[in-house]
């Protein structure tokens, strides 16, 4: 019933490992104001989900991969919620009958997210035990990532253009895990099983048919995207660490040399796996525009319970080999216009902002670029010297540091004071809390939503 059609040759199975979530760099600075640290069981997970040295995998846990040596990973407290999972823009059209049934199901599971998630994985591993070794040894940290992504996609089944783009990115990204087309029916079967068990009041044959149609569409888009991507790019790249610059006791700039050309755009990000934590992938933004020597740099902040971030900051050394997934992300500069750029970077969120500045400089356009570099303390302005050197070299660039604990004005008010910005394109990178507050601020000062660019906040914290 869940067999997806195959309009293209199935992708060759590639060796890959599954990812979980942990915390991440930039978001560890999110909170009240914009940079006060968070507390509570989800703070560490939110921390490494920053869109800068992003260490959390946006999207689902992988559907498959090759077995890696099992390790006992530290358990993390995590309580999933599906109440605010949806981060794709809503369609302006009235919902289709299938969408109405799907959203009714979503409302029915909102209060039993833990149970739905646990039952989903229990079904998957009992009915398909061959898939269990393909997932991380500890599931606690990433429990609902796969399920959340599927539910997000299903809820937006009517929004075809946005949904297809979202699913194509997921399908391409899953190649590094070794996901194969035959894995999708098993996941669909268990998805239906979990939903039907916990929504007895609304589940019927009509609802099941709607979910089957939605999942068939979802899986086919991902399968086709993976197959097409296989024709032009590897599933992953090996990369050697060539430099490790410890800027503060918990922030490092890590520079790597990929084993083959790695095309990307300034403002994008990639997923990264270390040899110390097989099958654990984290997202990091590129900290520079593409370089002639082919080197890539990432800003990494070690956070509590951050397996990958801690290893990269405190254990990694030149000569170590890591793996990189494909580049993704749309927080890039539109070089067909001459609009000014208003860039807000919080903590390690300055990494992709720096890349955007370099990108503008390399294109030779003298368009105005204003950077606000926010941090909780002077200690957190670890890359301010680099940004000031860029300002000295480019008269069209202005850089302002806003230190939360010293500033006369908090970050949002400071941005307002230096305006007007209504003719600028805005870019935000940093803790999810900063992005949310920043978007509200920018809208309030006249920048339309379509000119505000950032990586999806809900996508960043999807893997908490």
- The answer to whether 30 touches 461, Cβ cutoff 8 Å, is no
Asked whether the beta carbons of 115 and 81 are under 8 A apart, the reply is: no
Range with the poorest average pLDDT among 113-122, 185-194, 380-389:
113-122
Each residue of 242-263: pLDDT tens digit?
999 999 999 999 999 999 999 9
Q: What pLDDT, on the 0 to 100 scale, is given for residue 179? A: 82
Q: Are 411 and 371 in contact (CB under 8 A)?
A: no
When comparing pLDDT for 404 and 47, which is higher? 404
Mean pLDDT for 367-385 is 92
Query: What are the strands of the beta sheet with 424-429, ordered from one edge?
Result: 397-403, 369-375, 340-346, 424-429, 452-453
237, two tokens: 């790249």
What is the structure's pLDDT at 406? Answer: 66
- Residue-wise pLDDT for 156-178, tens only, equals 888 888 888 888 888 888 888 77
Instruction: For 284-320, write each residue's pLDDT tens digit.
Output: 999 999 999 999 999 999 988 888 999 999 999 999 9
| Residue 257: predicted pLDDT | 98
Higher pLDDT, 140 or 309: 309
Most confident of 63-67, 95-99, 109-113, 207-211: 207-211
Greater confidence (91 vs 370) lies with: 370
CA–CA separation, 207 vs 190, rounded Å? 15
Tens of pLDDT, residues 53-90: 444 333 333 443 333 322 222 223 333 444 433 445 55
């Amino acid at each position: 019933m869940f067999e997806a059609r195959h309009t293209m040759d199935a992708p060759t199975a590639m060796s890959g490992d599954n990812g979980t979530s942990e915390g991440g760099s930039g978001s560890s600075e999110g909170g009240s104001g914009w940079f006060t640290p968070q507390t509570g069981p989800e703070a560490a997970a939110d921390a490494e989900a920053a869109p800068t040295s992003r260490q959390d995998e946006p999207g689902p846990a992988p559907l498959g991969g090759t077995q890696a040596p099992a390790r006992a990973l530290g358990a993390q407290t995590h309580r999933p919620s599906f109440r605010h999972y949806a981060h794709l823009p809503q369609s302006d059209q009235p919902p289709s009958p299938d969408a109405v049934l799907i959203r009714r199901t979503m409302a029915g599971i909102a209060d039993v997210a833990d149970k739905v998630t646990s039952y989903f994985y229990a079904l998957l591993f009992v009915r398909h035990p061959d898939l269990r070794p393909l997932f991380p040894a500890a599931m606690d940290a990433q429990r609902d990532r796969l399920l959340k992504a599927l539910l997000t996609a299903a809820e937006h089944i009517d929004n075809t253009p946005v949904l297809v783009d979202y699913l194509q990115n997921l399908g391409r990204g899953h190649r590094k895990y070794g996901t194969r087309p035959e894995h999708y029916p098993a996941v669909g079967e268990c998805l239906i099983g979990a939903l039907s068990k916990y929504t007895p009041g609304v589940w019927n044959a009509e609802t099941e048919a709607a979910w089957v149609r939605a999942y068939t569409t979802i899986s086919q888009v991902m399968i086709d995207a993976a197959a097409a991507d296989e024709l032009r790019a590897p599933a992953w790249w090996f990369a050697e660490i060539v430099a490790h610059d410890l800027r503060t006791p918990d922030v490092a700039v890590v520079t790597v040399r990929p084993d083959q050309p790695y095309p990307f755009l300034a403002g994008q990000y990639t997923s990264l796996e270390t040899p110390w934590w097989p099958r654990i992938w984290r997202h990091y933004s590129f900290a520079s525009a593409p370089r002639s020597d082919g080197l890539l740099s990432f800003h990494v902040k070690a956070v509590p319970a951050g397996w990958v971030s801690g290893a990269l900051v405190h254990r990694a050394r030149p000569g170590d080999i890591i793996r990189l997934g494909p580049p993704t992300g749309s927080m890039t500069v539109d070089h067909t216009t001459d609009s000014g750029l208003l860039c807000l970077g919080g903590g390690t969120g300055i990494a992709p902002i720096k890349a955007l500045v370099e990108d503008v400089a390399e294109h030779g356009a003298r368009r105005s670029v204003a950077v606000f570099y926010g941090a909780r303390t002077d200690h957190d302005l670890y890359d301010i010297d680099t940004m000031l050197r860029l300002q000295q070299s480019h008269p069209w660039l202005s850089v302002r540091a806003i230190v939360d604990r010293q500033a006369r004005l908090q970050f949002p008010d400071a941005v307002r004071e230096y305006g007007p910005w209504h003719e600028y394109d805005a870019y935000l990178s940093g803790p999810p809390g900063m992005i949310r507050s920043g978007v509200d601020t920018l809208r309030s000062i006249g920048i339309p939503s379509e000119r505000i660019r950032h990586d999806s906040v809900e996508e960043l914290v999807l893997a908490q």
